Amino acid sequence: MDSELKQQALNWIEQDPDQVTKAQLTELLEEAQTDSAALLELQDAFLAPLEFGTAGLRGALGAGPNRMNRVTVLQAASGLAQYLVQQGFAGKKVVIGFDARYNSDVFAADTARVMSGAGLEPIVFSHVVPTPVLAFAIRHSGACAGVMVTASHNPPQDNGYKVYLGDGRQIVSPVDEQISKLIKTVTNVREIVQGDAGKKVSDEVVDTYTSLTSQLITSGPTTEAQRKSVTSVYTAMHGVGWKTLQSVFIASGFAEPIAAPEQRDPDPAFPTVAFPNPEEKGALDIAIALAKKNSVDVLLANDPDADRFAAAASNSTGDWVTLRGDQIGSLLGWWMIERAKIAGSKLSGTFANSIVSSMMLESIAKSAGLRYESTVTGFKWVSRAKNLAFGYEEALGYCVDPKNVIDKDGISAAAMFMEMLAHLKGQGKTLWQVLDELALAHGLHATDQVSVRVTSTDQVAMTMAGIRNTPPTKFGGLQVSSIDDLAIGLGELPKTDAVIIHLAGNDQIQKARVIVRPSGTEPKIKCYLEVVVRGDDLAIAQQTADNELKSLAADARPLLGGGN
C-alpha cells in the first residue's frame, strides 16, 4: 500500500468525530494491507474530495474525502459559514432542514454548531421536512442562507447537502467556487470553532407554508365540491412528503388521497424501490396497482424530498399511463393561463423552462402574450427567470407559486394539478383531451430520453469530446441543420457542458432536436430527444413522432457509448 494513502487514512481517522466511520475506516485500512478489493475501496474513498458545486455536495455515505460523512459536512459548513461572514451576514439567521436519510439529522446538527461558532444564528427544523418547506422558510424567516441535508432521489447509500442564499434560490456560479475555495482551507475539522445547537424552527413556519399553499387553491376558480370530487392515490416514495401534502390537501378542500402504505412513511432504506425516483422504471408500480384497485382519477407522486412531482392517469382504453415531465409542464402552464382567464384576469410575467425541456411551453406562453425564457439545465437557473410566473424542468420540477417558493415544489405542484383536474372533471373533460387540444394548437411535441450510466468522469469527458470533435451530420434519418455548443456559450445563457443538435424537418416532421449533457446529480450521460409534428390527425402525427423518436434513440445510444 502507498505510504501516502495510509497516512491520509490515519489522519482522517484521527479527526473523524463519528465513531462508526472511524471504526469502518480503521477496519478497511487493516484489510487493505492484504485484500485487493479493500485496497481499491480505500483508494476510491481518498481519490479526491467530493466536489462542492451549485448542487452543493452529493455522494455515497462512508469515510474519506470522496464520501458523505461528518468530516466532509463539517468542512462544507465551515466553508459556507466563512463565506457568509465575509459577505457581511454575521449575526444573521441560517435555516437548516433535513430529510430522513441516514445521518441527515446528524449532518444538520453539525452544520448548526459550525454556524453558531462562526457568529451566525442557526435555526434548525426539529423534524424531517420537504425541501420546498426549507426553501420557503429562508425568505419567511428573513435568513441569509439555508441548508437542506438531502440526496433527493438518489439511491439509499447516498446523502447530500444543498445550499440556498437569502433569496430562497439555490446557489449559482461564482458563489459555489468561492465557497469551495474556503472549504479547501479546512484541513482539520477539530480546529473549527463550534457553538451551540441553535434554535428550533417554529411550527408556525410549516403552518404558514400549508396555509399559503392552500390559499393559492381556495382562492382559485374551483368550488370545494369540485375539489372534493377528484379521487387520488399518493406515494411519498419512502420520503418526507406525505404529512405536508396531506395537510395542504385537507386545507385546500381536496379529498384526502389514499396513500400507498408501503411507501408512505420515511424510510432511509427505500425497501420497495431500487432507485427512489418516480422517473425510474417500476418505481410507481405499487401506487399504480393501488390506483387501479380503487378506481381513482389520478395517481400523484413525490420524490423522497418532495421537490419533484409525478402523475399517472388512466387513458381512454383504461390503461394507466405515467405522464412525462414535459406533459405535466405543458398542462400546468396551460392551466396557469386558463385559471386566470376563468377568474376574469390576465396572467402576467414570464414562463420559463430549461433547454432540455419541451419547446411547447414557449408556444403556449407566446400565444397568451406572456414573456418566455429558456434557461440552462438546473432549477436554480429556471428560478432566476425575470418576473417568473411559472417555471418547470422536464425532470419533474415545477414552480407554480414563485411568490412563496422560488424553487421547484412538488407539493404545491400536486395541489395545482389537482385543481386543474377538479375543473376538468366539472367540464366532463380529461387531461388527455387537453393534451390533444394543445397538440392541435401548438404542434404535437413528443419527447424521450436516453441515458447511459458511467463509471468515471473520464468516460463523460471522452463522450462529450467525441461529439464536439466529430459531430454527426445526420440523426434519426434527419439532416443536422446546426449545432450549438453551450460550453462556448449561446446568447445570454451561462456556459455549461451541453450540446444542442438541431435537426431539419421533412414533409412530415416540422423540426426536431437532440441535446446531450452529463447529469449534474448522477453518474449518467443524458440525451434529450424532441420531435415536433403538425397535423390535424393526431393519431398519424403521434405515430410519425414515435417512429422518429425510436430512430433518434437508436442513433443516440452508440453516440453516448452505450452500444446499440
pLDDT band at 131 (very low <50, low <70, confident <90, very high): very high
Average the pLDDT over each of 309-318, 489-498, 505-514 and give the range with the smallest value: 489-498
Q: In this structure, are residues 235 and 284 in contact, taking their beta carbons and an 8 Å threshold?
A: yes
Question: For 475-494, what is the mean pLDDT?
Answer: 92
- CA-nearest of 513, 178, 535, 526 to 378 is 526
- Give the model's pLDDT for residue 550: 96
Q: What is the pTM of this model?
A: 0.94
Measured CA angle at 510 (ends 504, 512), to 5 deg: 55
pLDDT band at 493 (very low <50, low <70, confident <90, very high): confident
Question: For 251-273, what is the mean pLDDT?
Answer: 98
- Give the model's pLDDT for residue 116: 98
Domains in the chain, ordered, with CATH? 1-14+23-43 (no CATH), 48-201 (3.40.120.10), 207-440 (3.40.120.10), 443-559 (3.30.310.50)
Share of the chain above pLDDT 70, in %: 99
Q: What is the C-alpha separation between 512 and 556, in angstroms, rounded? A: 14
Peptide bond into 174 cis (omega under 30): yes
Q: What is the C-alpha separation between 43 and 316, in angstroms, rounded? A: 55
Average the pLDDT over each of 26-30, 84-88, 403-407, 559-563 and give the range with the smallest value: 559-563
Question: For 102-126, what is the mean pLDDT?
Answer: 98
pLDDT band at 413 (very low <50, low <70, confident <90, very high): very high
182-208 pLDDT per residue, tens: 999 999 999 999 999 999 999 999 999
Strands of 166-231, DSSP E: 199-200
Question: For 113-123, what is the mean pLDDT?
Answer: 98
- Give the model's pLDDT for residue 22: 97
pLDDT band at 458 (very low <50, low <70, confident <90, very high): confident
Alpha-carbon dihedral sign for residues 110, 112, 116, 119: positive
38-85 pLDDT per residue, tens: 999 999 999 999 999 888 999 999 999 999 999 999 999 999 999 999
Q: Is the pLDDT of residue 227 over 80?
A: yes
Q: Is the pLDDT of residue 564 over 80?
A: no
What radius of gyration do the chain's Cα atoms show?
A: 24
Q: Is the pLDDT of residue 160 over 60?
A: yes
Q: Is the pLDDT of residue 19 over 90?
A: yes
Neighbour tally for 234: CB within 10 Å: 26
Q: What is the C-alpha separation between 498 and 512, in angstroms, rounded? A: 17
- Give the model's pLDDT for residue 151: 95
Q: What is the C-alpha separation between 295 and 231, in angstroms, rounded? A: 8
Q: Is the pLDDT of residue 563 over 60?
A: no
Q: Any idea which residues carry the catalytic annotation?
A: 152
Contacts of 53 by beta carbon, 8 Å cutoff, 6+ apart: 176, 180, 520
What is the total residue count of the chain?
A: 564
pLDDT band at 118 (very low <50, low <70, confident <90, very high): very high
pLDDT band at 509 (very low <50, low <70, confident <90, very high): very high
